[in-house]
Amino acid sequence: MRMRYEHLAPEFPVNWRYTRFQLPRLGPYWHFHHEYELAYIVAGTGTRLAGTSAEAFGPGDLSLFGPDLPHAYVSALDSEPVDAIVIHFARDFLGGGFFEAPVFGNVKRMLDDAVRGLHFPGLAPPLADLAGLAPPERTAELLRVLVGLSRAPRTVLSTGREPSVVNHGAAQRIQAMMDAIHTSYASPLTLSDVAQAAHMNASAASRLFTRSTGFTITDYVNTVRVNRACQLLRDTDRLVSAIAADAGFGTLSNFNRRFRELKKMSPREYRASFLASL
């Protein structure tokens, strides 16, 4: 059985799905499905996973995941409750070949690019309004949203080695390791600690995690820690050294090195860039 696969039945009579959910937190649910997923975070913070991408998310985060792209949202430990709007649709939800027409060339290219995941910074489409519309107007509004997104700036999320689909038992082990990382990243965390959460030895756990997610365990831990540091740099005026310690880095030099590797700038430059954008 493929635990990672999620079957999504369309909602009659619109032939696609609209869901708004509110939860205390989101745990690591690494999954895929054959439909496109447009996800908008109304409230909540944490880490967004898409293929080989792991980035921080917060209110206003808008992403589009293509068919069969493994993805997940994992709440930060101190996140407020999550409020999210998620839309699932097949490429042919308006009929076979609909988006192949030249008039929808921008949408076609966007859907093609979504196989690696897309992020739309700074956009807030009126997805909440769809819930109150009648089926014809709701579908027409979704089309309008897709056309608007196809003209907007976007970034590709997943690059490099793609993760593989795993079976039921392996999926449970991956989730256990991710949960251990996301709950304990602020403390000293060894490869053996992560492996123990999945009841595996370190070398076997490391191979499974890399094959299934595209990350080494060490790289994933560093990514989660840097994402937490980014949140603290944006939301507080605390010293960089204090933020490094809170994010789980043992030394300031290691923090600065890992931060620059992932963000292509220093922590101070990141904070200054964020403040300049306000």
Percent with pLDDT over 70 in the chain: 92
- Does some domain include residue 5? no
**Domain shared by 56 and 106, yes or no:** yes
Cα distance between residue 219 and residue 192, in whole Å: 15
Domain span holding position 252:
168-277
The 10s digit of each residue's pLDDT in 227-270 is 999 999 998 999 999 999 999 999 999 999 999 999 999 999 99
Angle at 218 between CA 212 and CA 220, to 5 degrees: 55
The residues facing 82 across adjacent strands are: 23
pLDDT at 8: 56
Looking up residue 111, the CATH number of its domain turns out to be 2.60.120.810
**Domain shared by 150 and 62, yes or no:** yes
Which amino acid belongs to residue 206?
S
Looking up residue 252, the CATH number of its domain turns out to be 1.10.10.60
Cα distance between residue 157 and residue 54, in whole Å: 8
**Domain shared by 228 and 254, yes or no:** yes
Pair of tokens at residue 129: 């309004």
What is the number of domains present in the chain? 2
pLDDT surpasses 90 at 278? no
**Domain shared by 58 and 151, yes or no:** yes
Tell if the pTM clears 0.95, that is, is over it. Answer: no
**Domain shared by 66 and 152, yes or no:** yes
Is there a cis peptide before residue 13, judged by omega within 30 degrees of 0?
yes
**Domain shared by 81 and 105, yes or no:** yes
pLDDT at 11: 64
Cα distance between residue 172 and residue 155, in whole Å: 31
Query: What's the average model confidence in pLDDT over 14-20?
Result: 88
pLDDT at 6: 56
Angle at 230 between CA 226 and CA 234, to 5 degrees: 170
pLDDT at 28: 84
Q: What distance, in Å, lies between the first and last C-alpha atoms of the chain?
A: 48
Contact 86, 38 (CB under 8 A): yes
pLDDT at 1: 25
Pair of tokens at residue 101: 């027409």
From residue 95, alpha-carbon distances to 15, 127, 130, 166, 262 in Å are: 10, 22, 20, 32, 41
